[in-house]
């Protein structure tokens, strides 16, 4: 048993979530993995989908939800961490389908004191619609990605021999960490209530301050981002929050500025 909790942050998009679960079922290694659907909403449609998915797949599926009163992704992710039963956590977003080797690569490189992260291919609008309509994950191959104008193709080629790089710059849609390491900084800061840099850049900074190292596994931890209209508002507010925390910590060295909301 591998003791992994895979947490999916989702808001309403059941069509793509269904494809994500399908991609989990096709992982080269999936034994010992529990899936936690972290819904920043609380809908009957999602509850019915989760019920049906539990009957369809052999891996355990948990579901946490909350009232839809604005962007509260950090809060529902913390709740998912609370209910998780395993010692290693993988975080993915509800618009990103997993390459079949993603979990295996986490298992290969996971270690205490290290956060692993990867990148994502930006699937074009046309190909995204084809995948959703056909439910065929086989369309997410290099030929179709190029043919239909997808972007960030440098992240599309799986290379089991690519070397890990020790560097900052992780994104919250594709990363993993031991739970005890995340709890050193009490998880996500729920004060970030607008989409932007808050839930990941803030967390990276806080983890770095307590000694966590970041390892990029580009071309190993691969995701396919399904196209949707951009929905990011002005991020000046979240940027100001992070800057304020950094300045206060620099002046006081008080670790309270490094703590999240768990």
Match 């709890």 to its residue by tokens: 183
Domain holding 90, by residue range, is 4-258
For residue 159, name the pLDDT band (cuts at 50, 70, 90). Answer: very high
pLDDT one-digit tens code per residue, 68-102: 998 899 999 999 999 999 999 999 999 999 999 99
* Torsion region of 70: left, alpha or beta (phi above 0 gives left; psi -120 to 50 gives alpha): left
- Residues 189, 202: contact at Cβ < 8 Å? yes
- Coil, strand or helix: which one is 142? helix
Q: Is the pLDDT of residue 200 over 90?
A: no
Mean pLDDT of all residues in 193-203: 79
d(CA 118, CA 104): 13
Radius of gyration, CA atoms only, the chain: 18
- Residues 175, 116: contact at Cβ < 8 Å? yes
State the distance between the two ends of the chain, measured CA to CA, in whole angstroms: 27
Mean pLDDT of all residues in 224-245: 82
Q: Is the pLDDT of residue 2 over 80?
A: no
Q: Is the pLDDT of residue 173 over 60?
A: yes
Q: What is the largest CA-CA distance in the chain?
A: 56
Q: What is the pLDDT of residue 197?
A: 63
Q: What is the pLDDT of residue 234?
A: 61
Q: How many CB atoms lie within 10 A of CB 14?
A: 17
Q: Angle at Cα 40 formed by Cα 34 and Cα 42, nearest 5°?
A: 90
Edge to edge, the sheet with strand 88-93 lists 61-65, 33-39, 4-10, 88-93, 174-178, 114-117, 213-216, 165-166
| CATH number, domain containing residue 179 | 3.90.550.10
- Coil, strand or helix: which one is 238? helix
Mean pLDDT of all residues in 101-120: 97
Quote the percentage of the chain above a pLDDT of 90: 85
d(CA 72, CA 193): 6
Mean pLDDT of all residues in 126-141: 97
Q: 119-122 and 4-10: which strand pairing? A: unpaired
Q: What is the pLDDT of residue 237?
A: 77
Is pTM beyond 0.85 here?
A: yes
Task: State how many domains the chain has.
Answer: 1
d(CA 71, CA 234): 13
Q: What is the pLDDT of residue 196?
A: 66
Mean model confidence pLDDT for the chain: 94
Q: Is the pLDDT of residue 139 over 60?
A: yes
d(CA 71, CA 23): 26
Residues written for the chain: 262
């Amino acid at each position: 048993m591998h003791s992994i909790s895979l947490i999916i942050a989702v808001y309403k998009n059941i069509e793509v979530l269904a494809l994500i679960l399908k991609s989990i079922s096709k992982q080269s290694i999936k034994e010992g993995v529990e899936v936690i659907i972290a819904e920043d909403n609380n809908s009957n449609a999602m509850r019915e989908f989760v019920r049906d998915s539990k009957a369809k797949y052999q891996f355990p599926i948990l579901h946490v939800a909350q009232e839809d009163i604005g962007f509260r992704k950090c809060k529902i992710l913390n709740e998912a961490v609370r209910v998780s039963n395993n010692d290693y956590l993988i975080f993915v977003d509800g618009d990103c389908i997993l390459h079949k080797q993603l979990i295996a690569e986490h298992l290969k490189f996971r270690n205490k004191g290290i956060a692993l992260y990867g990148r994502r291919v930006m699937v074009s609008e046309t190909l995204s619609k084809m995948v959703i309509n056909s439910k065929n994950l086989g369309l997410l191959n290099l030929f179709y990605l190029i043919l239909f104008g997808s972007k960030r193709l440098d992240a599309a080629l799986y290379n089991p021999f690519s070397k890990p790089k020790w560097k900052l710059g992780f994104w919250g849609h594709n990363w993993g960490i031991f739970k005890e390491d995340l709890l050193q900084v009490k998880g996500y800061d729920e004060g970030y209530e607008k989409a932007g840099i808050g839930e990941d850049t803030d967390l990276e900074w806080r983890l770095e301050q307590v000694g966590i190292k970041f390892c990029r596994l580009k071309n190993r931890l691969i995701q396919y981002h399904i196209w949707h209209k951009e929905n990011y508002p002005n991020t000046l507010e979240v940027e100001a929050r992070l800057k304020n925390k950094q300045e206060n910590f620099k002046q006081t060295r008080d670790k309270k500025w490094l703590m999240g909301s768990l």
